Structure 1
Amino acid sequence: MQSRTPPGAEPGPTRTETDSRLSAVLASVVAGARRRAVRDGDRQIDTAHLLHSLLETDPEVRSAFDDGAQVVRLLGYLVQRSIGYGLQWRGTVEDSGAVPLVKVGDFGPAKEKRWSPSATAAMETAIERADRRGEPRALGIDLLVALISDPDCRAIEVLGRAGADPKAIVRRVEEDPSTGAASADPYAETSAD
């Protein structure tokens, strides 16, 4: 079988490289997203799986939202994905154009669920964000900001349905000295509105 990777393209990170760059909480989030994708019968792990697992696992991520009621609304929408609006996603590849479709990341063995291009880009962006902060491992809050930086991903669709304001979330994260230092605001260019 011929490879779909274009000549000269660099392969993505290996599982070992990626796993070593994740905090314990973020590694738990990734495992939860994998389990959720399998349980939901989805072909790929996407950004909505990652958001769902982040909200369930990481208290620091939950604190980036307005209040507990907003988190409950978000979790409600995410739970409904397998029985409601999420059915439109089943059998489709989440690709907001964040990375080329041929660069689907492999954050696990080949026999496991594959990652959508948008989820792959979010994981890579989370690691880059930790690097800019001078940290060896990405945190859940890094992944949250990475998800928000892709305006066309499924996680953003869920945030919108729950009435969450991505700009306000990023502002709260950036104001926290432990997570916001030396990080780029994905909404900096549009904050003048």
Structure 2
Amino acid sequence: MQPRIPRQTAHDLAEQGMRRADHDAGLSAALAAVVAGARRRALRDGDRQIDTAHLLHSLLESDPEVSAVFGEGPGSARLLGYLVQRSIGYGLRWQSAVEDSGAVPVVDGSAAGLSPLAAACMERARERAARHGGPARGLDLLAAIVDDPQARAVEVLGRAGIDVPGLTARIGARPAGSGGARAGSAGPADRTFGERGH
């Protein structure tokens, strides 16, 4: 039986490390940690590449700004439940396929272990961050992910009952580069804003 992830030599790992450092350029320290967490999750799950669902899971677990956009309602718990079940449930069909919408230009994310679509999202996050004059943050990556309806993360959001257009609007309403909410925007009504039909 052939392993899903091929063995790598020390030279291969060193070369990947150099490319990974290049790939992480332009990311905030917090977002680089999110990518590292997604990488560990992909390896643990036996997946060949980091996809947008890995990135979303890592963002939710470690980025307070992203968590704030989702709120504290049952939709957030349901979303995390779907993401946790990935390795034993619906995500099994993803293990033999590469995440690529075909709608984005090919970006070589293989050096960092990213699916083509995840690599394109990382690039769009950098571009979004450049518009507000800083390194890419979690919200920049989340905005890039939810912008592509073919992303696995968007499929998971839909299964969890999260209103993606509403989520996109809330991301856009956050002040660029602040890490916080606009004054007066964090009221009780925001706690369940990510859910459809509630």
TM-score, normalising length: structure 1:
0.77
Contact 1:98/1:117, CA 8 A, preserved across alignment:
no
Q: Equivalents in 2 of 1:98, 1:53: separation in Å?
A: 24
- Does residue 49 of structure 2 align to residue 33 of structure 1? no
Uncovered stretches (5+) of structure 1, i.e. residues with no partner: 1-13, 109-113, 181-193
Cα drift, residue 167 of structure 1: 1.2
**What residue number does 2:72 align with?**
67
Runs of 4+ residues deviating >4 angstroms? none
Alpha carbons 1:54, 1:61 under 8 Å: kept: yes
Q: Tell me how far apart the structure 2 counterparts of residues 179 and 162 of structure 1 sit (CA, whole Å).
A: 28
Q: 2:85 aligns with which of 75, 80, 83?
A: 80
Identity of aligned residues (%): 61
TM-score by length of 2: 0.75
Matches within 5 A, 1:164-175: 164-175=162-173
Which among 95, 105, 108 is matched to residue 104 of structure 1? 108
| Partner SS state of residue 172, structure 1 | helix
Q: Give distance in 2, aligned partners of 1:18 and 1:45.
A: 13
Paired residues of 1:74 and 1:159 also in contact (CA < 8 A): yes
Note the C-alpha offset of 1:179: 4.7
Contact kept, 8 Å, 2:24 with 2:32, in 1: the verdict is yes
1:23-68 alpha-carbon deviations (Å, 9 max, x no partner): 1110110001100000000111101000000000101001112533
Tell me what 1:153 maps to: 151
Does the 8 A contact of 1:98 with 1:118 survive in 2? no
Residue 51 (1) aligns with residue 50 (2)? no
CA distance in 1, matches of 2:144, 2:105: 17
CA distance in 1, matches of 2:161, 2:117: 22
**Structure 2: which 5+ residue stretches go unaligned?**
1-18, 179-198
Cα deviation for residue 16 of structure 1 reads 3.2
Residue 163 of structure 1 aligns with which residue?
A: 161
Counterparts of 2:80 and 2:30, CA distance in 1: 18
Say if 2:42 and 2:50, in contact at 8 Å, map to a contact too. Answer: yes
Please provide the CA RMSD for this pair: 1.7
Structure 2 distance, partners of 1:37, 1:130, is 25
Aligned residue identity for 1:119: A
> Contact 1:22–1:138 at 8 Å: present in 2 too?
yes
Contact 2:146 2:153 in 1 (8 A): yes
1:23 maps to a residue whose letter is S
Number of residues of Structure 1 aligned to a counterpart in Structure 2: 160
Specify the alignment match of 2:126 in structure 1: 127
Q: Which has the higher helix share?
A: 2
Aligned 8 A contact 2:132 2:176 in 1 = no
Please tell me the residue identity of whatever aligns with 1:29. V
What CA distance in whole angstroms lies between the structure 2 residues aligned with 1:159 and 1:75?
10
> How far 1:104 moved relative to its partner?
3.1
Equivalents in 2 of 1:115, 1:49: separation in Å?
10
